[in-house]
Amino acid sequence: MTDGAVTRTRVGIVGAGPAGLMLSHLHHRAGIDAVNVDNRTRHEIETTVRAGILEADSVRLLTETDVSDRVLREGHAHEGIALRFAGESHRIDFQALVGESVWLYPQTDVFTDLADARARDGGDVRFGISDTRLIDLTGDRPAIRFTDADGAAHEVRCDVVVGADGSHSMCRQQVPETHRRLFAKEYPFAWFGFLVEAPPSAPELVYTHSDRGFALISQRTASMQRMYFQCEPDEDVAAWSDDRVWTEMQSRVAGPDGFVLREGPISDQAVLRFRSLVCEPMRHGNLLLAGDAAHTVPPTGAKGLNLALADVRVLATCLERALDDGDPDALDRYGLLALDRVWRTQHFSYWMTQMLHSLPGGDHFDRRRQVAELRSVVDSTAGATYLAEGYTGWPRG
Min CB(302)–ligand DHB separation in Å: 4
Residue 373 burial by Cβ neighbours in a 10 Å radius (0-12, 13-18, 19+):
middle
- In whole angstroms, what is the distance from residue 51 CA to residue 53 CA? 6
**Binding residues for ligand DHB (CB under 6 A):** 51-53, 205, 216, 218, 226, 299-302
Q: Which amino acid, residue 360?
A: P
Q: Do 82 and 202 contact (CB within 8 A), yes or no?
A: yes
Peptide bond into 203 cis (omega under 30): no
Question: In the structure, how many helices (H) and strands (E) does the chain have?
Answer: 12, 24
Q: Do 275 and 4 contact (CB within 8 A), yes or no?
A: no
Catalytic, 78? Answer yes
Q: Which is nearer to ligand DHB, 124 or 204 (CB)?
A: 204
Q: Which is nearer to ligand DHB, 53 or 160 (CB)?
A: 53
Min CB(296)–ligand DHB separation in Å: 12
Min CB(270)–ligand DHB separation in Å: 12
- In whole angstroms, what is the distance from residue 254 CA to residue 266 CA? 20
Q: Which is nearer to ligand DHB, 128 or 264 (CB)?
A: 264
Q: Which is nearer to ligand DHB, 48 or 317 (CB)?
A: 48
Helix (H, G, I), strand (E, B) or coil at 100: coil
Q: Do 25 and 41 contact (CB within 8 A), yes or no?
A: no
Catalytic, 386? Answer no
Catalytic, 18? Answer no
Min CB(69)–ligand DHB separation in Å: 21
Q: How far apart are the first and last CA of the chain?
A: 35
Closest to 160 in 3D by CA, of 17, 4, 23, 5: 23
Catalytic, 334? Answer no
Q: List Cβ<8 Å contacts ≥24 apart for 116-120.
A: 116/68, 117/21, 117/25, 117/66, 117/67, 117/68, 118/21, 118/24, 118/25, 118/28, 118/36
Residue 162, C-beta contacts closer than 8 angstroms, at least 6 positions apart = 11, 12, 13, 14, 15, 20, 23, 287, 288, 289, 290, 315
- Catalytic residue, candidates 25, 105, 142, 207: 207
What's the maximum distance between 2 C-alpha atoms anywhere in the chain?
69
- Catalytic residue, candidates 105, 187, 334, 391: 391
Min CB(17)–ligand DHB separation in Å: 16
- Catalytic residue, candidates 28, 78, 284, 357: 78
Q: Which is nearer to ligand DHB, 104 or 160 (CB)?
A: 104
Q: Which is nearer to ligand DHB, 291 or 299 (CB)?
A: 299
Min CB(25)–ligand DHB separation in Å: 24
Min CB(218)–ligand DHB separation in Å: 3
- Catalytic residue, candidates 25, 284, 295, 303: 303
Q: Which is nearer to ligand DHB, 32 or 305 (CB)?
A: 305
Catalytic residue numbers read 78, 207, 299, 303, 391
